[in-house]
Amino acid sequence: MADQYDLDLQSMQEARQMAVAAREAQRAFFSFSQEQVDRICTAMAEAAYRESEKLARMAVEETDYGNVPHKVVKNQFSSRDVWESICTIKTVGVIRRDEERKVVEIGWPVGVIAALTPSTNPTSTAMFKVLIAVKARNGIIIAPHPSAVKCSLETVRVMAEAGEAQGMPKGLVTCMTKISLPGTQELMRHYAVSLILATGGAAMVKAAHSVGKPAYGVGPGNVPCYVDRSADVVKAARDIVNSKAFDNSVICATEQAVVADKPIAAQLASEMEKNGAYFVNKAQADALGKVLFSADGAINPKSVGKTPQRLAEMAGIQVPAQARILIARLDGVGAAYPLSREKLTTVIGWYEEEGWHAGCERCIGLLKFGGDGHTLVMHARDEQVILAFGLEKPAFRIVVNTMATLGSVGVTTGLMPSMTLATGGIGGSVSSDNITVHHVLNVKRLAYETKPPPAAATVPTTAATTPVPAGKSMSDQDIETIVRRVMTQIGR
């Protein structure tokens, strides 16, 4: 019967039904203990981990982005590692006591979360969002990208089935199957949805912030990679190539441009070539720019997550069969230099600058051209240079001497494991963190008196708030005038 309606209407109706069902399930889930919540999350994390390879394969087959081995790594990280990072965090009942300040903190769920997920990392992002949502006793509805519906749906099915087997209310964790823009908008605007957690392109993030509800929206990152003269150049070269080649560069925190300190630039280029990098000439770079982007600067979806050989075929150029990434030497940053944009594929820009001050300015220019607030990676052993970059760069993740791809999400660093990297106020986000369970958990506070009130607050006062001359009482008209003035001030 539903098939007689167009996709938009089906999608909107599905969103409404799932939102109401999730709210009812979340109300039932509210009474679950910490032990019950953790048992459910453990089961879901283990189920997702077991199915990591199958889900990785489904994602590559459906989206044609990235490669299976690297998506397996991301799936395992987003199930096992993410759960291990939050499993001991209290989210139910009294979660903290501050005896000195006499404040008792109590965990409280946000409600139902509308979770928008990207086509670039569909299964791993869904795993991560389900775990942090349910850990905080929230309901969650995954709204996948239209090109990643099957793999996203299967990921959620695997996790929901495992959770429900441990007593999780049915409908608490679901995934939309009929995807359309009106349907996703209906989900975000629905009265039963309390918060939006959007990971994807700039348009999606803007839409998430425009519906008038609390939202964590995180979008693109044009990540610079500065290599200082003090760096371990051999390791830096290896890290950069491995990171840029990881899953064919579909993680938004992947290096987008190398900014090499001139004294070590030639050595760095040589070492990167040893690791599988190939420098294209200007004509080849121009051809790649036309393939990767449209005239208005929008990324070509067909170029996303492709090997250098696939890109070369699309651009009509020749590259070596062993090339893992392609490097284009660039003279500037901006619309006139298409390859200075974020490139969710195996192409990276190359700049050479004299000294870290000039390198700093180049990095800032790249961040401002599409990556404000996101991520920067640097390779250096001079702690003064490292600290200077940390203090000055408009990026909220500055990872040092590691792969940006894995360091930024918390695989190779001490950052909180996350597949949603917020960009702070300068990047249009309400947070600058790696999003985790704390961001989808409300906290109530019982606050006991710790000091007596000021004496003036306990002394009886006259009813009048306006001084009255001695020996003269206010008339009804005087009182009415004061009341009218006060009501005008408060907008009544």
Catalytic residues: 252
| Strand, coil or helix: 469 | coil
How far is the C-alpha of 343 from the C-alpha of 289, rounded, in Å?
10
Query: Dihedral sign, CA of 449, 452, 454, 459?
Result: positive
Buried b (16+ CB within 10 A) or exposed e, 13-42: ebbbebbebbbbbbeebeebebebbbbbbb
Query: Dihedral sign, CA of 463, 467, 471, 473?
Result: negative
Burial class (CB in 10 A: 0-12, 13-18, 19+), 193: buried
Task: Please give the radius of gyration of the chain, using alpha carbons only, rounded to the nearest integer.
Answer: 27
Helix, strand and coil in the chain, % to nearest 5: 50, 20, 35
Please name the amino acid found at residue 53. E
For 99-175, where are the alpha helices, taking DSSP H only? 122-135, 149-165
How far is the C-alpha of 189 from the C-alpha of 192, rounded, in Å?
9
CA distances from 418 to 78, 170, 206, 281 (A): 7, 26, 21, 37
Alpha carbon 451 to its chain centroid, in Å, reads 42
441-447 β-sheet, strand order: 93-98, 103-109, 441-447
Q: Which helix (H) or strand (E) holds 10?
A: helix 7-29
How far is the C-alpha of 232 from the C-alpha of 240, rounded, in Å?
12
Q: What is the DSSP string of 397-433?
A: EEEESS-HHHHHHTSSSSSPP-S-B--TGGGT-S--S
How far is the C-alpha of 58 from the C-alpha of 145, rounded, in Å?
14
